[in-house]
Amino acid sequence: MLVLEYKVKAKPVQYRAIDEAIRTVQFIRNKCLRYWMDAPKQDNIKRFDLNKYSTELRNEFTFVKDLNSMACQASAERTWFAISRFYDNCKSNKPGNSGFPRFQKNNRSVEYKTTGWKLHPTLRRLTITDKKGIGELKLLGKWDIHTYPVKSMKRVRLVRRADGYYCQFCVDVECIDIQPHTAQKIGLDVGLESFYTDSNGHSEPNPRFLRKAESEIKQAQRRIYKKRKGSTQRRKARARYSRKHLRVSRQRNEHAKSLARNVCKYNDLVAYEDLRVSNMLKNHCLAKSIADASWYQFRQWIEYFAGKFGKEAVAVPPQYTSQECSQCKRVVKKSLSTRTHVCQCGCVLHRDTNAAINILHKAKSRGGHPRSNAKGVATSTLVGASLLEQVATTNLESPSMQERGVSKTTDLNRPTCFRQRL
């Protein structure tokens, strides 16, 4: 499942119509959630019941009826996705918060299935055919959507971001690009001093995108509170602040994506630690630096490219990878401030290099868990591999990678990415 994304160019009245459709989607989702919460336990509400209730909302509210019927169903399915995830967490006895569904306050997208939209046969234009008044939208982007058959487009989504509006096409095509085997194996140890250190001794510098942009972000945030509440100037100041955060987020994604692609392309086996980053973020001293490094995003892209290139990605347990000697297997206790591993056997290595070698040894002994069947990186939208449950796993690549590489789809011989704008 691929996602092709375009920037939307339209008139102000059309942007307001998109916002109205997004608010309607949020209204349907919250009403469905309230319907599930207020229903008696013996009723045992299911996904079909929420779809039926969305039809009742169309008969009751005119502004809901103006939205396409399948867009209403997609909103009800979002509610059921949150409910089913809560049920699964309870059944599996997930520690901590089970993720009870919450009411949505800031929805940013509206999704159409196979109806409610029409693609121009020659021009790069999309027409929304419901009664919200969105009309014809001009699509700005690099890839030609007409290369793919219309029947393979399972979802069309309009997304509002800090820098404008975007249109996403969810295309049902397989993305496989088998790369030649290199007989190379590598272990990766992520960190804060360096973004990662491999088992060959190479260290990738940590870009620290948030730290570099932090002064500008704080300045933009201070300007918000100098404006009067509810004024146009305050709204513009908030938009500038949001765009700065959006830029940092895109920089992290592109950085992790390019590194993961190169690692998986030139190595047949990629080993990494099975870290619980969410637990590590509870350390208030290191939380900002860990979040800025985006380790989990890097891992997700490694799993995606390993599956795409026909390589193997293995996650190994992180216990004692830094303390154990890579030569004699003796445990050498050291604090986080100790950056050099010195063992009685004469082994003297950088702490991260020693850990990367241990990670590779564990992967070779198959102490880890293969992750080569992953589907990609989760996004803030819900277009994904499973259309019924709307799992948030999508394959999002960048044009710059396609130009450097030979990525192709199996059936259509087309680039499988969309443009990431900064």
* Domains delineated in the chain: 7-140 (no CATH), 185-207+256-377 (3.30.420)
pLDDT at 382 over 50: no
Q: What phi-psi label fits residue 334: left (phi over 0), alpha (psi between -120 and 50 degrees) or beta?
A: beta
CA angle 68, 73, 79 (to 5 degrees): 135
Q: From CA 250, how far away is CA 89, in angstroms rounded?
A: 30
pLDDT at 230 over 60: yes
Alpha-helical runs (H) found in 61-168: 62-65, 69-91
Work out the percent of the chain whose per-residue pLDDT is above 90: 57
| pLDDT-based confidence at residue 407 (cuts at 50, 70, 90) | very low
Work out the percent of the chain whose per-residue pLDDT is above 70: 87
Q: From CA 206, how far away is CA 107, in angstroms rounded?
A: 33
Beta partners for 298? none
Task: Give 392's DSSP letter.
Answer: S
> How would you write 337-358 as a 3-class SS string?
CCCEEECCCCCEEEHHHHHHHH
pLDDT given at position 283: 86
pLDDT digits (tens, 9 = 90+) for 157-216: 999 999 999 999 999 888 888 888 888 999 999 999 899 999 888 999 999 999 999 999
pLDDT given at position 396: 58
Q: From CA 252, how far away is CA 260, in angstroms rounded?
A: 12
Average pLDDT of the residues in 87-96: 86
Of 58-62, 67-71, 232-236, 374-378, the range with the lowest mean pLDDT is: 374-378
Task: Annotate 186-235 with DSSP letters as a single string.
Answer: EEEEE-SSEEEEETTS-EEEP--HHHHHHHHHHHHHHHHHTSPTT-HHHH
Contact 348, 367 (CB under 8 A): no
Q: From CA 259, how far away is CA 262, in angstroms rounded?
A: 5
| pLDDT-based confidence at residue 414 (cuts at 50, 70, 90) | very low
pLDDT digits (tens, 9 = 90+) for 131-160: 999 999 999 988 888 888 888 999 999 999
pLDDT given at position 303: 93
Q: From CA 5, how far away is CA 396, in angstroms rounded?
A: 9
pLDDT given at position 93: 85
| pLDDT-based confidence at residue 331 (cuts at 50, 70, 90) | confident
| pLDDT-based confidence at residue 370 (cuts at 50, 70, 90) | low
Residues in the chain: 422
| The two structure tokens encoding residue 191 | 């960190």
